[in-house]
Amino acid sequence: MLDALAKADALTWIAIVVKALVYAMSLSAAGGILSAVALRSLPRGERAWLIRLAVICAVAAALLSLARLPLRASFLMGGTWQGAFDPMILPMVAQSPLGMSIAVRLVGLALVPAILIPGRIGPALATTGALIIAMSFTFRGHALADPRVILGLLLAVHLVAIAFWIGAFAPLYRLAGQDGLAAGKVAHDFGQLALWGVGALAVSGSITLWLLTKDLIAALGTAYGQMFALKLAAFTALIGLAAFNKLRLTPALLRQDPDAAQRLRRSIVLEVALVALILLTTATLTTISAPLMVEVR
């Protein structure tokens, strides 16, 4: 793994960072919508703030996604910046699985602001957009291996669950600094829904790992397997923090213990750091290494 990282050039590192930011902004946009719709106890002011944040993240995700096209074209032209906008290569990249993935994602991102439409139609359209954003990542990478349909569905479920998780970070952090009891109520609602999300993450991740590697021990001898192990370790720590929040911090918030709100904020900062590590590892994993069954770039 370290050898693969050491051999990466500047363009590869830029591609990794941009890809990680695409993941972060896309999932934040989708998760913001899912949290705004699903967390009924979220105060009106916080819900409005979360919706604005989701729209901003959607715009950022769209711009970053488009930036991946010239980066990919540059890679195909031997890593030269002149190749980034080559009139022959760029259209080829746009018609590749990467281009299709970005096109689908842009449709989903375009639906995010629809949540501002009054009535039920707005949230319904925005939620559809959030699901499309998750589905857009199934058009390339892991999901192109066999069995393609199953892997695509597993990846989509995985991404919807983690997007909802990410979407709750900001409002919970803000509320914990303003109103501990309100934060406790939202944390309780989130915890009830997150039980399903954690189950979906664990099951979909385990099945995906087995389908891609077949032999976990052998996979650990590859750069891909080692980076996947790092991602799995971060995910395990994330689950542990979530369990601590649900079993210890949420009841403390509801009891209005004096230090509970600050403890929750510190826990959320750690969770954000772990998610950032997971997304950066995923971006690195799908850029410089490949699973045993499929070439990923």
Tell me, yes or no, whether 190 lies in a domain: yes
219-231: per-residue pLDDT in tens?
Answer: 666 666 677 777 7
- pTM exceeds 0.85 for this model: yes
Q: What is the DSSP string of the chain?
A: -HHHHHT--HHHHHHHHHHHHHHHHHHHHHHHHHHHHH-TTS-HHHHHHHHHHHHHHHHHHHHHHHHHHHHHHHHHTTS-GGGGG-TTHHHHHHTSHHHHHHHHHHHHHHHGGGGGSSSSHHHHHHHHHHHHHHHHGGGSGGGGSSSHHHHHHHHHHHHHHHHHHHHHHHHHHHHHTT-HHHHHHHHHHHHHHHHHHHHHHHHHHHHHHHHHHS-HHHHTTSHHHHHHHHHHHHHHHHHHHHHHIIIIIHHHHHTT-TTHHHHHHHHHHHHHHHHHHHHHHHHHHHHH---SSS---
Tell me, yes or no, whether 126 lies in a domain: yes
Tell me, yes or no, whether 293 lies in a domain: no
25-70: per-residue pLDDT in tens?
Answer: 999 999 999 999 999 999 999 999 999 999 999 999 999 999 999 9
* Structural domain for 275, as ranges: 2-288
Q: Domain tally for the chain?
A: 1
247-257: per-residue pLDDT in tens?
Answer: 899 999 999 89
Tell me, yes or no, whether 295 lies in a domain: no
Predicted local distance difference test score (pLDDT) of residue 289: 64
Q: pLDDT-based confidence at 123, cuts 50/70/90?
A: very high
Tell me, yes or no, whether 296 lies in a domain: no
192-216: per-residue pLDDT in tens?
Answer: 888 777 777 677 666 766 666 666 6
